Structure 1
Amino acid sequence: MPDPRWDDPSLKAGTMVRAALWLVQEVGEGNTFTKEQLRLAFPGIAQADRRVRDLRDFGWVLDTNASDVTLSAEEQRFSKRGVDVWNADVRRAVKRDDGAISNKQRDAVFAAGGYQCAFCGIAGGEPYPDRPAETAVLLVSRRSIETARGGVEQLLVTECKRCRSGAATRTHSVSEVRAMLEDLDAEDLRRIKRWAVQGIRGTTPLDRAWTGFRALPASEQSGLLDQLG
């Protein structure tokens, strides 16, 4: 059955549902929209922007200039479509999920992950190498892991918004990770084993040098690099 039209006058749905359909049908994943466009689409509805934010509870990823400085204060990016909130059964099933992540759990997962994305390794607030104007914002999400016995387990992981928007439905398997570990050289494999024992990713001399270097003023960075040839 095709999705209902967001502007169908016979659609019996609230602003959040209609806004979700508007994002899919008028904006499109990966594209930006402005608050003014939202106001024009939903005239007379004072809380339309808040209803859009409510979509995050259903797995929708909407970026602002807090996570991507290339966006203006008036812009948002529709990065990832979540569950079909216009399907009442699906929406109720999500709301019945009592697995909400508490602040205590979130803090524990951040600490266990060394405040770094489990997938790309970037730290919170660190610029992306390929997009220096965009800094990483860390989140805690659930991920499905395929076990060696063929089952699936749910784990809490730290990830940045960019990795989340690109892999929200990805399931990781033990066999896949084993293949990646087997491709490592002996020193990198020993390092991962140490991290596993410690329960947290340790830092290497390179990591510590880079962290220290980034903390220096730009003028000092340049001078130091000149001194080192």
Structure 2
Amino acid sequence: MSLKVQVGLYGRHAHGGEVITYDPHGVHNTHLDGLAHIGADGGWHGPVPAAASETDEDTIVNWAQHGIATRGVLLDVTAARGVDWIPAEEPVTGADLDAALAATGVTLEPGDALIVYQGRDRYEAAGNVYPSGAAAVRRPGIGQDGARWLAAQDLGLVLWDFHDARDNPGGRLEVHGLIYSIGLALIDNCLLGPAVSTLKDAGISTGLLVAAPPAIHRSTGVLVNPLLLY
């Protein structure tokens, strides 16, 4: 993110403004991916032609008109595995997600926000660097089997700390591919450790997940600050 501040002094009056430039994707900023972020065969989910992004594709504006408010269900995959973080060599599977969900005692309902904690804060605190999705390398995250599990649920959106593990021969982004195939909304790079600790102390695994994406015309993604209220 870059910030250009402009200050004007006019006698006793001062005026400040700025122009902000940011990358609404990658592995650093917490952001909501639009349906025009990942596509196939020359188009986005819908199907919508990819060329529409140059004119009138407005996933983010449409979402911004009503915002996001739904039940959030927090899954601690690290606790289900008994590890500090998910290693790159053993990506999250459907069995892992089943075990983490069973530990909550919650039944998923259509439209729920699934919040998947994989230990990224501990991973980075130990000095590890999480690689960018632009590099076709295996990394910690949800693998192909876990992506199939997500696709079988009727979720409103998924929030996570680690992304796709890329544990397939083609190095594809398993979960991000669901943006195109089923219209899945993703909020990437969430700081989930504090939520895990707080909800554990409260003895619960759910809360009200809210997020208010800004209405930026033709955007493929936007920065957001999701909140889990309980």
TM-score (norm 2): 0.26
Larger Rg, first or second structure (1 or 2): 1
Higher fraction of strand: 2
Higher fraction of helix: 1
TM-score (norm 1): 0.26
Higher relative contact order (CA 8 A, sep 6+): 2
